[in-house]
A and B are shown apart, each in its own frame.
Chain A
Amino acid sequence: MSTDKVKETEEKVRQETRRILKRVGRKRGNLIPILQKVQGRLGYLPRQAMLEIAQFLDVPAIDVYSVVTFYNQFRLNPPGKHSIRVCLGTACHMKGGYITLDAWKRRLDVDRGETTPDREFDLDTVACVGCCTMAPVTVVDDKPQAKVEPTKVDGILLSFEHEREKKSKENQ
């Protein structure tokens, strides 16, 4: 990216963050809700956003960073278009969640916590989404999918591919 473009993105991040900050109180206790809102808006927490928040709450930037890196929910890099969250709760694990995770890793060719180079998918695990009766569960784009075994992994990816093809045909 050219420097101009970098600056432009940073400015956009700052503006978006400020817009959210306008609607919250300057209280340390609001830090986590603020981070959640900013991430909800931007998809992740860029450096500029964290700096803005630190300044707003009048806390050292390192405090914001330490909270962001402490909690599993927050991410420091942009997400993929589709999020894949493999549940590794007890029931899911015992019913083969780790095998499902392997299948996702194999098919997407990324490790947990990574995004595919084309930014289509990001793969991660989640401690438990509480759908233990549907184990093994994978949360695809915020929707929990029941009984996701390696063959269903292929099925889900295939449906995304179909969608993409359909869209590109429509565009033609």
Chain B
Amino acid sequence: MKVAELPTIHLAFQEIKSRAQWHWQELWSSGRPVIMVGAATCGRAAGALEVLRAIRGEIKRQKLDCPVIEVGCMGHCYAEPIVIITKPGYPPICYGHVNAVIAERLIREFILGDDPCLEFALGALAENDLVPSFSDFPRAKYEKKVILGNCGQIDPTEIDHYLANGGYSALIKALYMAPEEIINKVEESGLRGRGGAGFATGQKWQICRNAPGNPKYIICNGDEGDPGAFMDRAILESDPHSVIEGVIIAGYAIGARYGYIYVRAEYPLAVERTRVALRQARKLNLFGKNILGSDFSFDIRLFQGSGAFVCGEETALIASLQGEPGLPYYRPPYPAISGLYRKPTAINNVKTFAYIRHIIDNGARRFAGIGTEGSRGTAVFALAGKVVNTGLTEVPMGTTLRQVIFDVGSGIPQGKHFKAVQIGGPSGGCLPESALDLPIDFDSLRDAGAMMGSGGMVVLDEDDCMVEIARYFLEFTQRESCGKCTFCRLGTKQMLEVLDDISKGHGKIEDIDMLYQLAQDVNAGSLCGLGKTAPNPILTTLRYFRDEYEAHITEGRCPALMCRDLIAYYIIPEKCERSCDACVGSCAVEAITTNKKRIKVIDQEKCVKCGTCLSACPPQYNAVVKLSPPSEVPR
């Protein structure tokens, strides 16, 4: 049965849409310049709010009439705060690393005057003869924006912006389709869940639709707990309606009555923007009772997670929605059959829902045409760590790690050497240079020992110690283990202690075998993904960087000069400049003194190895070095 036989839905939506389009057009065609400021969390951390204040202040002082819009994240986080100015007669120009002073100058010289201040420009958003555009960037060759398309281009707190850019038209289309038709379409597209495991979305929906039980639930999993990943945050902050639309369509396809959007508490801005978006969509009756006059009713609530990594696991997330501690439970039955309050529940990741509107609007075949045989569509990655262009990127599945890190990310800063890329967070692994030409999809990464996870990518260079990164993740999983399964609770603790010993130089060579053994046990004896995959960071670092473990154990040396117990800071007397005092002033614990020859000396007893002196020492002297083992320091 089709819910919408009547033309009323269409008419009701047309009215909403034309009003939105009118608003949008009014914004752009009034001849006024339009200023957009990237004010997602990353931009705010870099000072976007100060920039915003400066811009508004200057506009007021100059008595200008031009709209200032807060937009989300464009993905170029390395250049935050970002300002985009669209002035009639010029292409939309994007400025990077803007501060209050530059912002005021842009207003005075570009908005008021005619100098587009190209020295601060990052690029233009459209092809033109004046400034290179983003499509000329080498990364443009690889990027394909599907779900990031709106991010940074519209005001996430204005539903009209979303509507005017084709928003909610997929929902209307879906309402005129039979639910099975939608599920078939999603199945045809080959969409696999973007939360990490990669289960076929269409299949999940089908199971959930067929499962007996009422009411059924939809849950959008935005508990992006992987440290080092921020794709879901960026999408919820920049384009929350795209996720909401996906959730409503899923609700219709499955025959659900309620939906939950679960966002973690560490993302206050994402929570706020989602809340605003829900309020606006409800007001226009895009969800709620009898959506746009149809007989389909569906309600969405926002739920804030409260800081437990294990709640990213679907069964633990359900427990927390029910007001219980987030302990996972045994599957099967899977949530699609018996989930929230033991009713059929479809849980998908934020990104999975964001793809739905594109599949409905543009067809399954278009989506399936992107990507590889087993993994269709695009993948969104959060690039962080030792890479020049940190930020978000969306590339077709099957793009290689090398293309993402070196072409999109522009490689490693400061001329350092690439060592590994940590992908998939605590469940993933560290892949070395030899794996760089792997095409990224769900299956290839698993073969290499990592997993796609939700898409966090942390690039590591020669200064990063592989034992330390394994230790870091074990410390994380150990702390976040909910404690239900003995092997996870105690096994991760044991592994952490072994790694602690190794990173302090107290390791034994037999420890490596013990780690392998423990890894197997923890994997076999744990119920959920957290425990099952907790050993992955150890297994991959052992597989690809065993020599580093051995150097720690046998020589007491940290090859990357990172493990603090195995290094010492030393000032080379020959290089130290007598007239310079930079390190002395910088030292937080007054461990650096000047000797009779006015050469600076570090008191190894007092030194806390924070490295401030190394960054303080002027590059022309470069006198401070790290040595490992600490016994290398001359007496």
Interfacial residues, chain A to chain B (CB-CB below 8 A): 27-33, 35-36, 57, 63, 66-67, 70-74, 88-96, 99, 102-103, 106, 126-135, 137, 142-146, 149-151, 154
Contact = CB atoms under 8 A, between A and B. Distances in A.
Which of the listed residues B225, B422, B472, B609 has the most CB atoms from chain A within 10 Å of its own CB? B472
B206 interface: no
Contacts of B233: 130
Interface residues of B, number: 63
Interface string B588-617: 110000000000000000001111100100
Contact of A127 (B303, B309, B321, B611): B309
Given A90-B422, A131-B42, A150-B610, A35 B306 contact: yes
Q: Is the interface of A mostly helix, strand, loop or mixed?
A: helix
A132 B265 CA distance: 17
Contacts of A129: 41, 266-267
A106 B230 contact: no
A161 to B, nearest CB: 16
Leading 3 A-B pairs by shortest Cβ distance: A31-B323, A72-B307, A132-B384
B80 interface: yes
Interface string B383-426: 11110001100000000000000000000000000000010010
A90 B307 contact: no
Given A95-B385, A127-B476, 11 more contacts: A28-B323, A32-B303, A71-B307, A74-B306, A88-B227, A94-B469, A126-B266, A127-B480, A128-B266, A149-B612, A149-B615
A135 B171 CA distance: 39
Interface string B562-601: 0000000000000000000000001011000000000000
Interface in B29-65: 41-42, 44-47
Interface in B233-278: 233-234, 265-268
Contacts of A92: 227
Interface stretch (B283-291, B370-378, B437-445, B456-464): B456-464
8 contacts: A71-B306, A90-B458, A94-B386, A103-B588, A106-B588, A130-B234, A131-B41, A151-B586
A92 B80 CA distance: 17
Given A73-B306, A94-B458, A130 B385 contact: no
Interface in B291-314: 303-304, 306-309
B611 A128 contact: no
B458 A96 contact: no
B320 interface: yes
A140 B386 CA distance: 24
Contact of A133 (B391, B422, B586, B608): B391
B322 A29 contact: yes
A144 B46 CA distance: 8
Nearest to A100: B610
Which of the listed residues A73, A93, A132 has the most CB atoms from chain B within 10 Å of its own CB? A132
Nearest to B386: A94
A95 B459 CA distance: 11
Contacts of B498: none
